[in-house]
Chains A and B, each alone.
Chain A
Amino acid sequence: MLDSIDALRANGLARIEQASTAVELEAARIELLGRKGEVTALLRGLKDVAAEDRPAVGAALNQLKHSLGEALEKRDGDLRGTASADPGLDLTLPGRVPVSLGTAHPLVVVLEEICDIFYGMGYDRGDGPEVELDYYNFTALNFPPDHPARDIQDTFFLSDEMLLRTQTSPVQMRTMEQVKPPLAYVFPGRVYRNENADASHSSEFFQIEGLCVDCDISLVDLRQTVEAFVASFFGPGYKTRFRPHFFPFTEPSVEVDMQCVKCGGRGCGVCGQTGWLEIMGAGMVHPNVFEAAGYPADTYTGFAFGMGIDRIAMLKYGIDDIRLLYENDLRFLNQFRGVL
């Protein structure tokens, strides 16, 4: 009898250990301790044991019942995840994922964010070539041939007629050739200037151009659009101001300043102590530009603006050297984790 008790203990414990689901464990419990179970059967057989052996066998049976019960309970805890795990585990070990997070480029992030703001204001997005005809980059935009106005933008030439666009403005003209007003577009993209690189200049950089044309668009619309953009991108509370300027393709032309993001207008190194940061050029579309686009004279008015994305990104992230944006050093890029 004692032998069969030992055999059942070993066998029962093994069966409990092998149960890999709650269902299997319950089946093992019934097989062992159920009303028709094997332990129960042995208990029933106790009456047939010789009286002098009975206390020892009874004790052994009780111990068997108890240890199986304990094993069942422990296994149940394991399967349910409620039992305490091995206390030797070091839970301060670092975690690991198959591949760690990459980054989006801050220039592109800012470009897309600006586009998103204008999508929200009802703007479409347009695109044009970077290798441009002189016609679209200059002539159609009211830069007279051989005029000093062309010197404002040092140009990379590829042939007599072809150049690397110095501004995103040629896309204005290409779009107006295709689309009739009312229209509102942004044109982001890469532009080129034949300048020597330093901390604030790069011969390649990104711009975003905006164009809005309808029957009675005024400078006030431009002003409100600029204010809405600044409030959305930089946050509320920044004042903006218009300063008259000159661009051949807009008139009146202005440069737009906003209160310095660093010092809030008190004057600091970022704004050259003026309290103001120049963020874009803008103006009312010149009638000669409408004429070049084939729009009927005097029917439409509109505004256009252009801003340097590099500069905006530098202001937003406190980057002090434009060249960092084109070096693609992971020690730089990794700082933009989670910026998408």
Chain B
Amino acid sequence: MKISLNWLADHVSWDDDPEGLSARLTSAGLNVEAVEEYTQSWPGVVVARVVECGRHPDADRLSLCKVDTGETELTQVVCGAPNVRVGLAVLFATVGTVLPGDFKIKKAKIRGVESRGMICSNSELGLSGDSEGIIELDGDHEPGTPADDLFGYRDTVLDIEVTPNRPDWLSHLGVAREVAALYGTKLTPPPVLKPSASTEAGFKVEIENFGDCPRYTAHVADGLKVGPSPRWMQNRLLAIGQRPINNVVDITNYVLFELGQPLHAFDCERLAGDTIIVRRAGRKQSVTTLDDESRAILADDLVIADGDGPIALAGVMGLANSEVTEQTSSLLLESAFFAPQLVRGTSRRLQLVSESSYRFEREADWDMVLFGARRALHLLQEHAGAVMCGNAIDRADPDRQPYPDLPLRVHHVNRVLGTSLDTERTADLLRSLGMKVQPLGSQVESKTVNLMVAVPTFRRDLRQEIDLVEEIARMHGFEFEGRSGRKAIPHAPHRLWRDRIRGLLRRWLPSVGYHEIVTSTFMSRAELDALAFGEDDLRAQCLAVLNPNHGGETLLRTSLVPSLIDVSKRNLNAGAKPPVRLFQIARVYWPAGEKQEGHHELEKLLPEEPRLLQVGIAGAGEQGFGGLPKDLIELRGLVDELAGLLRVTMTVVPRDTEPFLQPGLQWDVLDGDGNRIGFLGRVRTDTASALDCDHTVGVLETDLRRLGVESANVVYNTFSRFPAVKRDLSLLVPGGVTFAEVRDTIEAADNSILESLDLFDLYAGKGIPEGSAAYGIRLKFRSAKGSLKGKTVDGALARILVALSDKLGVQQRA
């Protein structure tokens, strides 16, 4: 809301500079976002009188004039306006003047004739109004008088952020009320038309339903002369960013910004019949609003109608069919109170937010309905020649109850604010805001109601006791030493394992080279399609945003994989050194997932939101140990480390489960009970390239909730202090036999003294039969009972070799 300080000064005084005023307003909750100087000034433009005026020798439409600019000699100038004539007082831009739009006036030759300046029209000066031809000044002005003396304007404009609870601050009078309270000065309302005649108005108003429109007033005025509004009014409107149009429109606008009451003027002669009806539209139809847009309205929209149909969308905008024009001589002035939800509904659906709808949806001020109309009539009378015809028509809901007085417990005020206010001071703070306060005589200590507060109609936000507490806080300020009610809480917060796990991961993964990333919840259709989920995969079903803020479908991600591909791609393309190691802990949204029970009956609508841990390696070199890709070997190792870190059991089994991972290069991640809790593998090349990524991406993902069980406390076990015996085996493993089989066979053959098994070498190629592999395995034996004898170990080793040979055909290499 823009507030002109010149305008504000009509209603209140304050002894402070604009910065001081801004600071006071801000500290009272009217956040002043900007203080701007507004000036209208035309240095170099002066009053001149046309002394001679003849036809240009070489152009029919141009006049050659001599003007008196107050200098000793007359100035010759060429003018193209049809209304230029001898004797006219005009505004003249002298040579060297710079007009709005950076238009510089120079000495010029126009069709061979010298011209030293320019006689100005409204538009050339950046003024509004009748722009056909040059400005004709009324009255007696001395030539040479600066234009600024006549039209110059200076103002300071505050841009105030008004919160939705304070529609009363959407007007100069409302802000003036606050200034009066802050500075202890008097509030001066503007002059209004006094009700006089008691004749019939000639119109009737019918309200179909008082619930839709609790109050509607109409005034009829005749004798109207539509023309430009007075200069001071135009200046004020311009200063707050409004474009002046004509006196009738400007006056209704002026009252809106002065008092906050939206008004609308209908051209009486364009109304059918003598009855104004406030009703629902009744059927879907197309109407043309004042801004010349055709709009579709629905049966439930509230309209103002005459005998033929809608003439205005109630509280939102008038229709073109009843608009005031330059020919209008009599008008019907509407000032009303519409149901906020109806105005809001129509305005939002049509995406048509007007100054009027903005105020009505925040609720109008009951008393201002009539006052605002009278203010406008006063101005119409003074500046548009209007004559009131008959009485005001004022239809109001007879059953409407005034806002009830609010009880206030000063004890409660102090309890919430931590203040030590007494009854008298509390009452004074409220009175400063224009409230009527009735002390009940009870003591603060009694904890009962001490004050009854009558709420003025302009404070629609004050509905309950706590609203008054806020007003007291605002007026009292927040810079006080108060009382704290917080007892030392004998409470040690319980840190959930869920939260602690995340802390562990966020410290561990960076220490082994991974970068944490934070990526968007949103996913595109292309990203979803690239993952190629099967129909029965719950991740194939996504929630979509109904109102995305940029073109295209916006889905809520059901997988973190596209975001990993995206971050990998962008970093590697930007020249990051591969491999790029990344991790994220983030939610995905599964509408087809498990539903939650909750307090609210609609809880079941909500998607499952598991929090996943994702670890990825992008751009890794291909070959590693045993021909496996290096990134997958690392991620595979990370599973064991992760299990160790979180003290849970995690295993992997090779299984082609994920459609976006390369077949034959992926594993399921299982928990201790064999439940699948994630996956590990290499993203398919075609999946990556569908997302414009031509780098390898290895990924490990697991559901953090499944690791979210508080791990068992560590219980110490005794360990053997006897020495270990190491034996290395060099094995020839035929094709088709896996390491897991070799390992399991060894472990099954002798598990009493075998402590560990380590594959330290893996070789295939020269000297090894085609398809076979050579393993170097180090076995470590240890007994809890005593030092192992060589022959005990030899026996165990022999059993192992026999088992390997019998079960798998694995032989010891020579």
Chain A residues proximal to chain B, CB less than 8 Å: 99-105, 107-108, 112, 119, 122-125, 127, 129-133, 135-136, 146-149, 151-152, 156-159, 161-162, 164, 174, 177, 182, 184, 190, 192, 194-196, 203-204, 212, 214-221, 223-224, 241-246, 251-255, 284, 286-287, 301, 325-331, 333-334, 340
CA distance A53 to B804 in the complex (A): 68
B415 touches A124 (CB 8 A): no
Collect the chain B residues with CB atoms within 8 Å of residue A148's CB: 164, 344, 361-362
A195 touches B549 (CB 8 A): yes
Closest to A98 in B: B513
User: A117 to chain B: closest CB distance in Å?
Assistant: 12
B515 touches A251 (CB 8 A): no
Of A125, A133, A190, A241, which one neighbours B495 at CB under 8 angstroms? A125
Collect the chain A residues with CB atoms within 8 Å of residue B507's CB: 104, 340
CA distance A166 to B286 in the complex (A): 35
When A105-B518, A107-B518, A124-B493 are in contact, do A196 and B549 touch as well, CB less than 8 Å?
yes
- Chain B, 158-178, contact with A by CB distance < 8 Å: what is the 0/1 string? 000001111000000000000
Collect the chain A residues with CB atoms within 8 Å of residue B656's CB: none
Collect the chain A residues with CB atoms within 8 Å of residue B602's CB: 133, 135, 161
When A102-B510, A148-B164, A328-B517 are in contact, do A124 and B494 touch as well, CB less than 8 Å?
yes
Closest to A140 in B: B600
The yes or no answer to B188 lying at the interface (CB within 8 A) is no
Closest to A340 in B: B507
User: B590 to chain A: closest CB distance in Å?
Assistant: 10
B605 touches A159 (CB 8 A): yes
B164 touches A284 (CB 8 A): no
CA distance A134 to B790 in the complex (A): 75
In the complex, the 3 A-B pairs of residues with the closest C-beta atoms, listed nearest first = A216-B485, A220-B418, A244-B29
Closest to B161 in A: A245
B164 touches A131 (CB 8 A): no
Of A104, A112, A242, A301, which one neighbours B478 at CB under 8 angstroms? A242
Name which of A99, A244, A287 has the most chain B CB atoms within 10 A of its CB.
A244
B600 touches A102 (CB 8 A): no
CA distance A103 to B583 in the complex (A): 10
The yes or no answer to B587 lying at the interface (CB within 8 A) is yes
A218 touches B506 (CB 8 A): no
- Extra A-B contacts (11), CB below 8 Å, given A129-B609, A148-B164, A156-B549: A125-B495, A129-B606, A135-B600, A156-B545, A156-B546, A158-B543, A159-B546, A184-B489, A220-B482, A246-B29, A329-B574
The yes or no answer to B237 lying at the interface (CB within 8 A) is no
Closest to A215 in B: B485
Collect the chain B residues with CB atoms within 8 Å of residue A327's CB: 570
B470 touches A244 (CB 8 A): yes
When A221-B418, A328-B567 are in contact, do A103 and B516 touch as well, CB less than 8 Å?
yes
B567 touches A219 (CB 8 A): no
CA distance A290 to B483 in the complex (A): 23
Q: Which of B577-616 contact A (CB under 8 A)?
A: 580-583, 587, 589, 598-600, 602-603, 605-607, 609
User: B475 to chain A: closest CB distance in Å?
Assistant: 10
B570 touches A214 (CB 8 A): no
B571 touches A328 (CB 8 A): yes
Collect the chain A residues with CB atoms within 8 Å of residue B633's CB: none
B482 touches A219 (CB 8 A): yes
B513 touches A102 (CB 8 A): yes
Interface of A is mostly: mixed
- Which segment, of B128-136, B461-469, B805-813, faces chain A? B461-469
When A129-B606, A161-B605, A203-B549 are in contact, do A104 and B516 touch as well, CB less than 8 Å?
yes
CA distance A245 to B31 in the complex (A): 8
Collect the chain B residues with CB atoms within 8 Å of residue A252's CB: 416-417, 469-470, 473-474
Collect the chain B residues with CB atoms within 8 Å of residue A162's CB: 543, 605-606
> What are 17 residue pairs bridging A and B, where the CB atoms are less than 8 Å apart in the complex?
A102-B512, A122-B489, A127-B498, A135-B602, A147-B340, A148-B362, A149-B164, A158-B545, A203-B549, A204-B521, A221-B486, A244-B27, A246-B166, A252-B416, A301-B485, A328-B582, A329-B571
Collect the chain A residues with CB atoms within 8 Å of residue B548's CB: 156
User: A227 to chain B: closest CB distance in Å?
Assistant: 12
Closest to A152 in B: B164
Closest to B464 in A: A287
Interface magnitude class on chain B: 35 or more
CA distance A151 to B603 in the complex (A): 24
The yes or no answer to B544 lying at the interface (CB within 8 A) is yes
A194 touches B474 (CB 8 A): no
A190 touches B521 (CB 8 A): yes
Closest to A254 in B: B478
A108 touches B510 (CB 8 A): no
Collect the chain B residues with CB atoms within 8 Å of residue A218's CB: 415-418, 482-485
Collect the chain A residues with CB atoms within 8 Å of residue B27's CB: 241, 243-244
CA distance A167 to B165 in the complex (A): 19
User: A272 to chain B: closest CB distance in Å?
Assistant: 9
The yes or no answer to B742 lying at the interface (CB within 8 A) is no
A219 touches B478 (CB 8 A): yes
The yes or no answer to B503 lying at the interface (CB within 8 A) is yes
The yes or no answer to B712 lying at the interface (CB within 8 A) is no
B546 touches A157 (CB 8 A): yes
CA distance A336 to B53 in the complex (A): 79
When A157-B545, A194-B547 are in contact, do A119 and B495 touch as well, CB less than 8 Å?
yes
B510 touches A101 (CB 8 A): yes
Collect the chain B residues with CB atoms within 8 Å of residue A108's CB: 506, 516, 518
User: B576 to chain A: closest CB distance in Å?
Assistant: 5
Collect the chain A residues with CB atoms within 8 Å of residue B582's CB: 328
User: B485 to chain A: closest CB distance in Å?
Assistant: 3
CA distance A251 to B479 in the complex (A): 17
A123 touches B464 (CB 8 A): no
The yes or no answer to B28 lying at the interface (CB within 8 A) is yes
Collect the chain A residues with CB atoms within 8 Å of residue B549's CB: 156, 194-196, 203
Collect the chain B residues with CB atoms within 8 Å of residue A287's CB: 464, 466
CA distance A244 to B26 in the complex (A): 8
User: A90 to chain B: closest CB distance in Å?
Assistant: 24
The yes or no answer to B345 lying at the interface (CB within 8 A) is yes
When A130-B587, A182-B489 are in contact, do A221 and B484 touch as well, CB less than 8 Å?
yes
The yes or no answer to B491 lying at the interface (CB within 8 A) is yes
The yes or no answer to B757 lying at the interface (CB within 8 A) is no
User: B593 to chain A: closest CB distance in Å?
Assistant: 11
User: A84 to chain B: closest CB distance in Å?
Assistant: 35
Q: Which of B495-520 contact A (CB under 8 A)?
A: 495-496, 498-499, 503, 506-507, 509-520
User: B733 to chain A: closest CB distance in Å?
Assistant: 28
The yes or no answer to B556 lying at the interface (CB within 8 A) is yes
The yes or no answer to B789 lying at the interface (CB within 8 A) is no
Closest to B611 in A: A127
CA distance A251 to B471 in the complex (A): 10
Closest to A134 in B: B602
The yes or no answer to B341 lying at the interface (CB within 8 A) is yes
The yes or no answer to B487 lying at the interface (CB within 8 A) is yes
CA distance A284 to B492 in the complex (A): 24
Collect the chain B residues with CB atoms within 8 Å of residue A215's CB: 485
- Chain B, 14-58, contact with A by CB distance < 8 Å: what is the 0/1 string? 000000000000111101000000000000000000000000000
User: A146 to chain B: closest CB distance in Å?
Assistant: 5
A125 touches B496 (CB 8 A): yes
User: B616 to chain A: closest CB distance in Å?
Assistant: 12
Closest to B34 in A: A272
Collect the chain A residues with CB atoms within 8 Å of residue B581's CB: 99, 102
A246 touches B163 (CB 8 A): yes
CA distance A93 to B165 in the complex (A): 69
User: B98 to chain A: closest CB distance in Å?
Assistant: 30
Collect the chain A residues with CB atoms within 8 Å of residue B550's CB: 196
B165 touches A149 (CB 8 A): yes
User: A17 to chain B: closest CB distance in Å?
Assistant: 26
A217 touches B486 (CB 8 A): yes
Closest to A105 in B: B516
A219 touches B545 (CB 8 A): no
CA distance A329 to B470 in the complex (A): 46
CA distance A302 to B469 in the complex (A): 14
Closest to A244 in B: B29
Closest to B505 in A: A104
